[in-house]
Amino acid sequence: MLGEATHDNPNRSPAVLIVEDDEQLCEAIGFCVEQAGYEVADCAQSVDAALASLGCRTVDAALLDIDLGGELVYPVANALTARGVPFVFVTGHNPSEIPEQFRHRPVVPKPYYDTALCAALASMLPLARKADV
């Protein structure tokens, strides 16, 4: 469930922070994350919201849009790097526009395919297993 990931539960699915200013796209990415068996830690639409989430939620990985309505996501990338949390840029920006210190990070170009997002998550996180219903 959104935002309930804690370090106290070793059996929980890895939690993914989504940083995307487009609410509908954020929901679509969240659906993809959940279908892959991961938990959505939060769906933040601004740098401040993402940084606040990092302060109060367990985050195992992140998917970052670069341009959040004119605000660049790099402060969040810096915070994730400082915490040792892997992340992927999900963006329409040209990868050559990404600052040098982040160019080694994976990029999933927009428009994206769910399989590309799932592959990016799998490259950062242990394989999540969905519970049989």
The tens digit of pLDDT for each residue in 74-93 reads 999 999 999 999 999 998 88
- Band of the pLDDT at 54, cuts 50, 70, 90? very high
State the helix-helix crossing angle for 74-83 and 47-56, rounded to 10 degrees: 20
Q: Is the pLDDT of residue 130 over 80?
A: no
Beta-carbon count within 10 A of 110 CB: 15
Residue (of 31, 27, 13) closest to 131 by Cα position: 13
On whether the CB atoms of residues 107 and 95 are closer than 8 A, the answer is yes
Q: Is the pLDDT of residue 131 over 90?
A: no
Whole-prediction pTM value?
A: 0.82
Give per-residue pLDDT as tens, 11-50.
778 999 999 999 998 998 999 899 888 999 999 999 999 9
Lowest mean pLDDT among 31-35, 49-53, 129-133: 129-133
Beta strands in 45-114 (DSSP E): 61-64, 67-68, 71-72, 87-91, 107-109
- Band of the pLDDT at 126, cuts 50, 70, 90? low
Measure the CA–CA gap between 13 and 37, rounded to whole angstroms: 7
On whether the CB atoms of residues 68 and 44 are closer than 8 A, the answer is no
Going along the chain from its start, the domains and CATH numbers come out as 15-117 (3.40.50.2300)
Q: How does the average pLDDT of the chain come out, rounded?
A: 84
